[in-house]
Amino acid sequence: MFLEERRNKILDYLDKYERVSVTYLATAFEVTKETIRSDLNELALQGLVQRCHGGAIILRRSLQATLITETGDNFEVLLQRLSNQRKNHLVQDKGKNMQGKVCILGSFNVDIVAKVERFPKGGESLLALGSTLGPGGKGANQATAASLAGTKVHFVAKVGKDQFSQFAFDHLSSSKIHSFTLYQSDTEPTGNAIIYVSQQDGENMIAIYSGANTTITDEEVAAITTDLSDANVLLVQLENNFDATLNTIKLAKTLDIQVILNPAPYSSDALACLEYIDIITPNETEASLLSGIEITDLASAKEAALRIVGLGAKRVIITMGSRGALILDGSQFQHIPAFPAFSVDTTGAGDAFNGALAAAIAKGQTIAQAATYAAAFASLAVEREGASNMPQHQQVMTRLSQR
């Protein structure tokens, strides 16, 4: 059982019985008393329980728990309750500090990467020049990027019960990501991606099996209310079941949180949520599909951006690889040129851009400042092998200062 799962179970127990001893929990979970003490101390630090001699008593179960019980897990009722509470000032104001906070609901995949001299043709077998197995998934990569960009991140994902779930847990635990909720599916395996990276230009080809990423339930979305409520920005992509993504977006809007949608990989589902989105960040392919306008240059990218706003999005950033990014904010266009880079692996360039963008927006930067920071961040990411291999904030500042 994951540490977080155990802590949630402790809270559930306390909800029901209000008091518990260390000895009881250690026996029930088959762990040492020391482990339980550290769980209770952490929960006490989060203000969820109060330590007492030999155990803990319930102090305050989070807002989320009360809402879930009271609403019988009905998502629309939950949104209505939150909205009423906001009107009556019962929902705590976001702890907006200098650092900001980004909440990301997204995918975790295991990336199996083969470095090849060139992409194989159909029916052809090629010898790879190298191969790695590592953490990936757009959600996890973006969470890593946002954390390294210097903001607090809460990441929500779902994996299977296979050997890769422990891999996911260990990766997230040892990463810079501040906190995470990792659900486990009984039926689907951890998502994976088979990736070819060509030596010729660092370009990639990817086949994704989403697995557990597409099994997030309404109840699991409702359970992140507390972690979401003090975030400045929610960042989502399209690698999860869309109903979960849409519900999280609606939850964020009810809590008055800015929403950034990276509509990747493309799905027409994106069109169904544009009205709730503050910033949409398609790449050229996704923007062409969303708008029906084929992007070949800056002029056609501008047309596509206008069309996407016409469809309901508030602000658009079209990322255009080494051609940089185009912002449409109101009626104002701004082109952010790419920072010169020696590209070795472009896998995750979009993730680097989106994570860094969300972090900078959460810290209070303007969209143009944030996109410039994100472009510098992504230019460093394409110089590194591996989709989740992101640069440090200080390196980004140095690159920015060189422009």
Nearer Cβ to ligand RIB (116/255)? 116
Convert residues 359-398 into a mask of x (bound to ligand RIB by CB under 6 A) and - (unbound): ----------------------------x-----------
Q: In this chain, which stretch among 29-37, 192-200, 216-224, 375-383 interacts with ligand ATP, using CB under 6 A?
A: 375-383
Strand partners, 333: 328
Strand order in the sheet with 258-261: 179-184, 152-159, 101-105, 233-236, 258-261, 279-280, 315-319, 325-329, 332-336
Tell which residue, 322, 286, 330, has the closest CA to residue 304: 286
Q: In this chain, which stretch among 19-27, 31-39, 325-333, 342-350 interacts with ligand RIB, using CB under 6 A?
A: 342-350
Distance CA 91, CA 175 (A): 30
Residues 152-211 close enough to bind ligand RIB by CB under 6 A: 193, 206, 208
Residues 24-63 close enough to bind ligand RIB by CB under 6 A: none
Among ligand ATP, ligand RIB, none, partner that 321 touches (CB below 5 to 8 angstroms by kind): ligand ATP
Among ligand RIB, ligand ATP, none, partner that 164 touches (CB below 5 to 8 angstroms by kind): none
Distance CA 103, CA 124 (A): 43
Q: Does residue 238 interact with ligand ATP by CB under 6 A? A: no
* Active-site residue, from 39, 227, 329, 351: 351
Q: Does residue 137 interact with ligand RIB by CB under 6 A? A: yes
Q: Does residue 234 interact with ligand RIB by CB under 6 A? A: no
Q: Does residue 373 interact with ligand ATP by CB under 6 A? A: no
Number of residues that bind ligand ATP (CB under 6 A): 23
- Catalytic annotation present for 351: yes
Q: Does residue 346 interact with ligand ATP by CB under 6 A? A: yes
Q: In this chain, which stretch among 63-71, 151-159, 348-356, 394-402 interacts with ligand RIB, using CB under 6 A?
A: 348-356
Tokens for 94, please give them.
Answer: 């976001």
Convert residues 247-286 into a mask of x (bound to ligand ATP by CB under 6 A) and - (unbound): -----------------x------------------x---
Convert residues 238-277 into a mask of x (bound to ligand RIB by CB under 6 A) and - (unbound): -x--------------------------------------
Nearer Cβ to ligand RIB (26/194)? 194
Q: Are the C-beta atoms of residues 358 and 146 closer than 8 Å to each other? A: yes
Convert residues 308-327 into a mask of x (bound to ligand ATP by CB under 6 A) and - (unbound): -----------xxxx-xx--
Distance CA 184, CA 190 (A): 9
Distance CA 147, CA 159 (A): 21
Residue number closest to ligand ATP, CB atom: 350
Q: In this chain, which stretch among 136-144, 289-297, 310-318, 376-384 interacts with ligand RIB, using CB under 6 A?
A: 136-144
Diameter over CA atoms, the chain: 69
Among ligand ATP, ligand RIB, none, partner that 320 touches (CB below 5 to 8 angstroms by kind): ligand ATP
Distance CA 128, CA 112 (A): 12
Q: Does residue 138 interact with ligand RIB by CB under 6 A? A: yes
Name the residues annotated as catalytic: 351
**What residues line the site for ligand ATP (CB under 6 A)?**
264, 283, 319-322, 324-325, 338-339, 341, 343, 346-351, 353, 375, 378-379, 382
**What residues line the site for ligand RIB (CB under 6 A)?**
107, 109, 111, 136-138, 141, 193, 206, 208, 239, 347-348, 350-351, 387
